[in-house]
Amino acid sequence: MKPIAIDGDTRVLVLTGAGVSAESGIPTFRGTSGLWESHPVEKVASPEGFVEDPALVWRFYSQRREAAKAVRPNPGHDALARLEARLGDRFLLATQNVDGLHRRAGSERMVEMHGSLWKTRCSRCARAPFDDEASYDAQHLPACGQCHGKGEFALLRPDIVWFGERLRGEDLERIATFVAAAKGHRFVFLAVGTSGRVSPASELVRLAKANGAESWLVNLEAPDNVAAFDHVITGASGEALPQLLD
């Protein structure tokens, strides 16, 4: 496999999805052994599901916290961290993953578009999300201390962007600013391990191409938006990324 041509002027925007963490042992969402097969998405990943059964939602995310603690970044995460070390501010990683494995591999210039498994926030007030690795069960659901101080009751919730919720404006702006600055330079857009089913992440390839990017895809199988890519590598990211990027 020939590496992607990346010179001293090249800007690289990378979009990752669950596939990049699959070789670490984290299940993806869609497909026969995907998380959404055994956990109905509307029950565990929507604001309505949280109101209906917060214990079920916290059990799901507590299990995911424990599962993510038990695994390690794989050579795909490592290759992206090395590329960032080479490019500095000419690199940006937009990840849909909430597992924190990119950060553990050393990635810093990163937008966690769908939030983070390692942060918790209030379901009611606007206090900033805070670091939290705990697991919660039905008997000990966490409540917001700040709301309690004002005589209100509100449960804390995972800082994940659920279905039906908007992505954070500052995250989308950071990506848009990077894309605008990349225009006029050699610009590479690389999507890795994502089914291209969830917007706006799935729209990034079109945005990048509209701004002059050459588009690359590394995925185990052809996703819905495969036609948008100039170069498609069908394979596992842990094997392909070190060859493509080093």
Q: Can you give the binding site for ligand OAD, defined by CB under 6 A?
A: 17-19, 22-23, 28-30, 34, 45, 96, 114, 160-161, 193-195, 197-198, 218-221, 223, 236-237
Q: Closer to ligand OAD by CB, 98 or 182: give it.
A: 98
Give, rounded to a whole angstrom, the gap between the first and last alpha carbons of the chain: 11
Q: Residue 111: which residues within 8 A CB-CB, separation 6 or more?
A: 92, 93, 94, 95, 171, 174, 175
Beta carbon of residue 28, minimum distance to ligand OAD (angstroms, whole number): 3
Q: Residue 158: which residues within 8 A CB-CB, separation 6 or more?
A: 57, 58, 61, 115, 117, 119, 120
Q: Closer to ligand OAD by CB, 18 or 156: give it.
A: 18
How far is Cα 99 from Cα 65, in angstroms, rounded to an integer?
8
Is 39 an annotated catalytic residue?
Answer: no
CB 102 within 8 A of CB 16: yes
Q: Closer to ligand OAD by CB, 29 or 50: give it.
A: 29
192 strand-pairing partners: 16, 218
Beta carbon of residue 241, minimum distance to ligand OAD (angstroms, whole number): 9
Q: Which of 114, 148, 185, 231 is catalytic?
A: 114
Angle at 224 between CA 218 and CA 228, to 5 degrees: 65
How far is Cα 71 from Cα 89, in angstroms, rounded to an integer?
29
Beta carbon of residue 238, minimum distance to ligand OAD (angstroms, whole number): 6
Q: Residue 151: which residues within 8 A CB-CB, separation 6 or more?
A: none
Q: Closer to ligand OAD by CB, 145 or 164: give it.
A: 164
Beta carbon of residue 119, minimum distance to ligand OAD (angstroms, whole number): 14
Beta carbon of residue 17, minimum distance to ligand OAD (angstroms, whole number): 3
Q: Closer to ligand OAD by CB, 12 or 147: give it.
A: 12
- Give which of 194, 117, 1, 64 is closest to 204, Cα–Cα: 194
Query: Which residue number has the CB closest to ligand OAD?
Result: 19
The catalytic site residues sit at: 114
